[in-house]
Structure 1
Amino acid sequence: MPSSGISFRGGSGSPEFHDVLADFKQRGCNILVTGRVSETTTNRTTMQLLGASTEERKRVLVLTDTTARYANSKLPGGTNAGDPDVWVIDWGDDERSVSGSGSMAVPETPRLTTSPEDSIRELRSDIVTAVSFFDEWADGLTPSELRLSFDSLIKPLERCDQEAVERFLRTVMALVRGVSGMAHYHLPVPTSNPVVQELTPLFDARVELRQSNGLVPEQRWHIPEYDQTTNWVQL
């Protein structure tokens, strides 16, 4: 995501925002994206965080709030779900399907009747499979080459208790950091929602989105490590 025009609001003793972002890209990071905005704005944020199609990226798209047929609306221009470097995981209500990379596609299989805890463990397993495949295919991923997008945490939080979701997130986050990748997880609720404050400490950063009265959508970043928040800038 472009960092032009983004800076921390006052304070001293912390690096510049663009240096923090560069460090995230080098060592890997997990980002929580919050705020109630339009689907168009959410998709635009996802596209930016997944990286431009001109860059060498391996993209994993985890869908919990929509189905795989809409995957292309979340991918950067020039990229589509059928590309060999894109892996789509569909965690729908009635069926669970995984679209692998290129010819490695796995056929859709009916969702078995399982507990919410078993279901989220299956989702974790699917994510591990996707990341491991790309890491092996690339013979070791370079920093920020892996980009993972989790389209909504709402359904996991509704189906499972928060403690189980936090355990799930810690595992996925460790996996992403292990290959120096960048992952973002949408939580489309207002900042005032208690779950935002409860989950934020798990993440390296939180991107807050806002959009009101048809105005241009804006973003600001919160970096817990430095106790810093940036100015609002156009998305």
Structure 2
Amino acid sequence: MSPETANRGPDDAFIEELSRLKRRGASVLVVGSARASRNAETCRRLLGHAADRSRRRVLVSTTGRSAPLEPLADENPPNHHRIITHDVDVRSAGTATAPRTTGASSDVPSTTTDTLADLGVELSSAIDSFERAADGLEPSELRIGVDSLLPLLEKYGTERTFRFIHLTNGRTRTADGMIHYRFPVGREHDVAAVLTPLFDVVVELRVHNGVRQERWSLKDESLCSGWIPTTQL
């Protein structure tokens, strides 16, 4: 289910603005408690799962657990995907970036980075590669997912992570793509409040009366989907 198809869907203004964001590129912050954030289906939809056309995806793992993202790599040709694992536990910041198998199909290019700068370079390089291969990307063809902001914030702090997100969102938007980041805290969290202005959409996840729900809010806070049931626990 998505906000466009819910029985009690948002009004026409919300749908129109969300469609416009998809056409020109958008950045999405997915927040919610750790329990609610286990709802990976929301992020799979943001990555274009089961779409009626091909997607080109960059899957970024900051937690060392890329497995939940890997099934998406089977939906399109392997060269339509990149997997980047950012190793926040590397002790030497000067260690060179090197390829490493992440456990996905061996045909899917995968890289490990150990500095925030290298992560930004690898993301930009992946987008460049997709643009060259496709001779330009269609709106919303590019989808990027970052599995958690928590390790980045813990290692680099809010200011550096803020700059990284700002630059990465900008590069994604130049390709008319969509990028989302998972941040398993409540929206009222102090850091979430600091980061929210960077995003076009905030998706909140929660578990209410045993039902997982999501709520989509746009920059114009009057445009909101309301709580939408997703899946039963």
TM-score, normalised to structure 1, is: 0.81
CA apart distance, 1:52: 2.9
Which deviates further from its counterpart, 47-56 or 187-196? 47-56
What is the RMSD of the two structures over their aligned residues, measured on CA atoms?
A: 2.8
1:60 maps to which of 43, 58, 76: 58
1:72 pairs, out of 60, 70, 74, with: 70
Question: In 2, Cα distance between the equivalents of 1:39 and 1:226?
Answer: 22
Unaligned runs of 5+ in 2: 91-96
Contact 1:98 1:126 in 2 (8 A): no
Is the CA contact (8 Å cut-off) linking 1:64 and 1:152 kept in structure 2?
yes
Which segment drifts farther, 163-172 or 221-230?
221-230
Aligned: 1:25 with 2:26 = no
- Residue matched to 1:105: 109
Q: Give the conservation status (yes or no) of the 8 Å contact 2:31–2:186.
A: yes
Q: Supply the distance in 2 between the matched residues of 1:164 and 1:110 (Cα, whole angstroms).
A: 16
3-state SS, counterpart of residue 228 of structure 1? coil
1:88 aligns with 2:88: no
Deviation at 1:70, TM superposition (A): 4.6
**1:48-90 superposed Cα distances (whole Å, 9 cap, x missing partner):** 11113442110110110233445325x38x527x822111101
Q: For residues 48 and 192 of structure 1, do their structure 2 counterparts lie closer, same or farther at Cα, with a shift above 3 Å needed? A: same
Write the deviation string for residues 113-162 of structure 1: whole angstroms up to 9, x where unpaired. xxxxxx11111111111111111111000100000001100011000121
1:90-169 correspondence to structure 2 within 5 Å: 90-94=85-89, 97=99, 105=109, 119-169=115-165
Which residue of the partner structure matches residue 5 of structure 2?
Answer: 4
Structure 2 residue identity aligned to 1:191: R
What is the distance in 1 between the residues matched to 2:68 and 2:60? 12
* 1:7 partner letter: P
Percent identity between the two aligned chains: 31
Match of 2:177 in 1: 181
Distance 2:106 2:175 in 1: 21
Conservation of the 8 A alpha-carbon contact between 1:37 and 1:210: no
Matched, 1:204 2:205: no
The answer to whether the 8 A contact 1:88-1:98 is kept is: no
CA distance in 2, matches of 1:33, 1:71: 15
User: How far apart are 1:44 and its partner, in Å?
Assistant: 1.0
Distance of 1:168 and 1:110 partners within structure 2: 14
- What do the CA deviations read for 1:173-224 (whole angstroms, capped 9, x no partner)? 01111010011111110122111111111110100010146x1210111112
Shift of 1:16: 2.0
